Chain A
């Protein structure tokens, strides 16, 4: 059984056709993914209001589907309304922020204000981290000690920096999906912060789960640690009943 904490629903501006809900369910079947936490790509790259509403309609289609409420820190009041509206529904279990598409650094005033708000709700935040911006997570994590921050993509090509930050900030988790699949990163992460703070994500509908599953299978870690990464930690973090 696998829990995927980083997936999307919807189209992208790339030549990818497998973005419909049938495609996603087929992929979940293929890899034995029992719970999949999605954010709306429409909400991430464009209009969070429209995208969240669209995802809300989709989540009821299959019990495996769970949702992130996407917020946009350029719209603090509307983002709070979205949190109130969707987090009251059982299917929404976390919040997603993407600094690239809002053009707000992780440690900007707007982003930090957004995290002040999210912290009140007590749910995990999936925060896109990739490249140099990864270094800014530390400031955000220290300023928001009660916010559970999942570092999406584990910093991408800056994964060593992400591991350093996770080691210094107990309220951060490392999520693995990324095209930078450099050998040894899983082992180093486990060694630095323990398997209990590492999570499996696929990045569907951008990346096929086989990519990251292959990496987790390859990693020289114990069976128990693998189990924690693929399901146990997510179950605990999101309080899932399975």
Chain B
């Protein structure tokens, strides 16, 4: 493996649900062990408490740890000020945005979410959306007509058929890989959609990083396709 690994799906901060060290320092150590060059990450303070404060913290941490690519997040339950926050964070230099409805009290079919999509379209930056508790087909309808890149996170081999249809319809949709752990899920998606639509993510440090890496390393696809998935596709999306 010669290509660098860049992880689109990590977090840092504090985890209130069990005792685990998910500090930025711990994340960077995990990245070192697995030779992960860079990781997109955000503070969990922005997920569970206050997205403005969380985004501030994420930016600061990314200055301390250059391997961390800062990701801004927004909680649609708070909603007020969200459009300004998106524009401000984009102007500040955030290149990637992430929404985690699975951890918050809102859903993607919520009108608040739909009203903010034009702001994402205006700035054009990629947005990662957690889909663990949402239907891909629902997002497909809601995102009709928008062209900013959307990265689907938290979809698994259970969803393969729906991924194929939805991503076939939306060429601006990408899929994050950590739960594509079926024996041929990666291979099926690469065969049907091409290797440029998959983006490596691990969900670390919440999850062991090794499983997600090993799945792509051992996929029955060619080396060039692995390089795209492990980092090049994401770098293209981020304009780097």
Contact = CB atoms under 8 A, between A and B. Distances in A.
Partners in one complex: yes
Nearest to B156: A179
Interface range, A side: 20 to 34
Contact of B215 (A27, A182, A214, A219): A214
A214 to B, nearest CB: 3
Interface residues of B, number: 30
Interface in B19-54: 20
A181 interface: yes
Contacts of B208: 181, 183, 214-215, 218-219
Nearest to B185: A16
B228 to A, nearest CB: 19
A17 B158 CA distance: 13
B206 interface: yes
Contacts of B158: 14
Given A16-B160, A18-B184, A214-B213, A183 B218 contact: no
Interface stretch (B67-75, B133-141, B175-183): B175-183
Interface string B147-162: 0000000001110110
Interface string A15-51: 1111100010001001100000000000000000000
Nearest to A186: B208
A85 interface: no
Interface stretch (A75-83, A201-209, A229-237): A201-209
Contact of B182 (A183, A208, A217): A208
Nearest to A208: B183
Contacts of A218: 208-211
Contacts of A206: 157, 182-183
A112 to B, nearest CB: 31
A182 B207 contact: yes
Given A14-B158, A16-B182, A17-B188, A30 B211 contact: no
B217 interface: yes
Interface string B179-205: 101111101100000000000000011
B211 A16 contact: no
Given A16-B184, A17-B188, A182-B207, A207 B214 contact: no
Contacts of B123: none
A204 B183 contact: yes
Contacts of B160: 14-16
B235 interface: no
A212 B214 CA distance: 9
Contacts of A217: 210, 214
Given A14-B160, A179-B156, A214-B210, A207 B20 contact: no
Interface of B: 18, 20, 156-158, 160-161, 164, 179, 181-185, 187-188, 204-215, 217-218
Interface of A: 14-19, 23, 27, 30-31, 160, 179, 181-184, 204-208, 210-215, 217-219
Closest 10 pairs (CB-CB, A-B)? A214-B210, A214-B211, A214-B214, A218-B210, A15-B160, A18-B184, A210-B214, A211-B181, A218-B208, A15-B161
Given A183-B205, A213-B214, 14 more contacts: A14-B160, A14-B161, A14-B182, A18-B187, A181-B207, A183-B206, A205-B183, A207-B182, A208-B181, A208-B183, A208-B218, A210-B211, A210-B214, A214-B209
11 contacts: A15-B160, A15-B188, A31-B218, A179-B179, A181-B207, A182-B206, A183-B20, A183-B208, A205-B183, A210-B217, A214-B209
